[in-house]
Amino acid sequence: MFRKYRNFLRGISVNRIGQVGVILTTTAFAGFLFFEFLRLIGVLDNAYIGLITYMLFPAMFIVGLALMPLAWYRYRKKQGKSTKELLNERFDPGDVREGFFGSRVFLVILVLTMVNVLFITGAGFRTLKFMDEPKFCGTACHSVMGPEWTAYQQSPHSRVKCVECHVGQGVDAVVSAKLNGLRQMALAMLSDYERPIPTPVHQLRPSRETCEQCHWPDKFYGSRMVTRTHYGMDRNSTPRYTTLQLKIDTGHDAGKGGIHWHVASDNQVQYASVGDKREDIIWVDWRQPDGSYRRFENIRLKNEASEADHSRIRTMDCVDCHNRVTHVYEDAEAAVDDRIMRGLVDRFLPFVKREMLAAISANYPSDEAGLEGIRKHLMGFYRALDAVQGARMADRIDQAVVVAQDIYRRNIHHHMRIDWNTYSNHLGHQQDGGCFRCHNPNMRDKQGKAIRHDCTLCHSILAYDEENRFQYLFEPDKKNPNYKMHLFLRNEFLNSEQGALKTRP
C-alpha cells in the first residue's frame, strides 16, 4: 500500500515544480494534523504556532496543489507527447489501464481530490474559528495588542471573545472584519501603525449588534450603590469614603428615567463633535418617539456649529459612556487605593499610599526602567525611614514593591506610548469629560434651557470624602457648616424614586 502511494507520488513529481508541489502538500498536511492533534490534547496553545498551523500550512497546501497541474502542463509541453503516452511512461501499465470506473491512477486522483476538498474546508473552518479566539487577537501581533490584551484579561469581559464586541453579527460584518484584519496584520508586520492606537474606534459595530446580545436597555432598573475608598497621604493612609447611589434606570418618560434613558428603545440622542473625536460636543439632539426633537447647542462652540460634519453625526450608544468597558486602564491614584482596599498591601506600612503613588507616577524611559525605578524608590524610602529592619517589615515592603510593579505593568506600555491617562474614561466626569461633555451649563436649547446637570440628577450622594460611608444618612448636625447640604442630600436620597426607604410599603 505504502509502496503504491510512493510510486504514485513519484509518478506525479514529473519535474522540479512537481516535486516542490508534492513536498509542500505532504508537509503541510502532516504538519497540520500533528499540531492540531497537540492542540486538541492541550499541549499547545501558543498563538504563533497557531499562525503556522492555521495560516501557513493551509497556504502551503493550496500552493502545493496548484503547482502539480502546472508541473504536468509544462512537462507535457516539453516532452511534446500526449497525456496517454506520458501516463504510460510515468506509471505501471497496470495502473493506467482503463477499468470499469476509469484507470487506477484516475481513481487515486479522484479520491485524493475529495480528501483535499474535505481537508481544505475543515482547515478553513478551523482557521476562521482560531482567528476568533481572544488569544489570537491578543497575542499574534503581540506588541501591538499587548496593552489591550493585558487590560482585557483583568476585565469583567475576560470570558467574552474580542470578536463579540469588535465584529458583531452577520456575514457582512465578519467578511469586512476579516479583510480589515488582514490589512492590519500586514501593517503590523511593517510596523506601520499609530502608537497608541487611536480612539474612538470608528469600525466598532453599533452596540445593538454587540453589547445588546448580552445586555439590553430594558433590563436596567433601579439603582446601584457604589462606595469609593480614597486613602490619605498621611502616615496611616487614613481612608475616606464617597458613596453614590447611581440611578441606572432606563425609564421611558423624560424626567422619570435615569442614566440608561439615552439608550431606551424609543429614545434617540444624536450629537456632532469637533473633529469626530467625541470630546468637544457641538450640539445634541434628543428625538422623541413622536418625531419631535429638541436641540441643545454648545454656546461656546457657536463658530464650529456651521462646520459640524453632518455625515459624522453619531447616535449615542453604550460605547459613548462605556468606552473603557474592557480595556480598563486605571487612574494611578485609584489603582493604589484599590490595591490597599483589597488588602494586597499593608495599609500600616508608613506612608504607603503616598510613596506607592509617587513611585508609579514618576517618569521613566522604559518599562524595565520603570519596574527598577519603583523598586529603588520604595526601598530607598523605607531604608531612609529605617523601616526595613526585621524580617516581617522587609516582607511587607517587598510585597508593596511587587504590587506597585504589577500596577505599572498593567497600565503603562512604553512601546505603544501608553502612559497614565492616555485613554480617557467617559463613564464619570473626571476633568469635565465624560457625562459633563453634554451635561453642562453651556449646552442650551432655543429657550436657553441647559441640559440638566444638578449633582443629584445621576446619583444620590450619601458621602463625599467623609470618614463614614453613609455620613449623610445620619441626622445632620446643626452646628456643621455643611448642615444645609447634608439635609438636602439626605432628603433627596430618601425621597428619590430609587431611595430604598421610599419603596417600603
Q: Is 204 in the site for ligand HEC (CB under 6 A)?
A: yes
- Told to check if 326 binds ligand HEC by CB under 6 A, we report yes
Q: Is 457 in the site for ligand HEC (CB under 6 A)?
A: yes
Output the nine-digit C-alpha cell for 75: 512537462
Pick the stretch among 21-29, 53-61, 220-228, 405-413 that binds ligand HEC (CB under 6 A): 220-228
Q: Is 274 in the site for ligand HEC (CB under 6 A)?
A: no
Residue 272 forms beta bridges with which residues? 283
Could you say which residues in the range 367-406 bind ligand HEC, by CB under 6 A? none
H/E run at residue 239: strand 239-246
Contact assessment for residue 335 and residue 411, using Cβ atoms and an 8 Å cutoff:
yes
Tell me: does residue 50 bind ligand HEC (CB under 6 A): no
- With respect to ligand HEC, which residue has the nearer C-beta, 64 or 138? 138
Three-state secondary-structure class, residue 96: helix
DSSP letters, 244-312, are: EEE-----SSTTT--GGGGG-TT-EEEEEEGGG-SSSEEEEEEE-TTS-EEEEEEGGGHHHHTT--GGG
β-strand partners of 242: 228
Contact 262, 256 (CB under 8 A): no
**Nearest residue (CB) to ligand HEC, 79 versus 203:** 203
When asked if residue 451 is in the footprint of ligand HEC (CB under 6 A), the reply is yes
Q: Is 264 in the site for ligand HEC (CB under 6 A)?
A: no
3 CA to centre of own chain: 53
Answer for which of 199, 229, 361, 482 binds ligand HEC (CB under 6 A) is 199
The nearest distance, CB 451 to ligand HEC, in angstroms, is 4
Site for ligand HEC in 282-301 (CB under 6 A): 284, 286, 296
Which one of residues 10, 81, 287, 322 is an interface residue with ligand HEC (CB under 6 A)?
A: 322
- Residue 228's H or E segment, with its range, is strand 224-231
Of 21, 58, 257, 476, the residue at the interface with ligand HEC (CB under 6 A) is 257
Site for ligand HEC contains 428 (CB under 6 A): yes
* CB closer to ligand HEC out of 399 and 440: 440
Instruction: Give me the sheet containing 239-246, strands edge to edge.
Output: 224-231, 239-246, 459-466
Query: Which 79-138 positions form the footprint of ligand HEC (CB under 6 A)?
Result: 134, 137-138
Verify binding: residue 486, ligand HEC, rule CB under 6 A: no
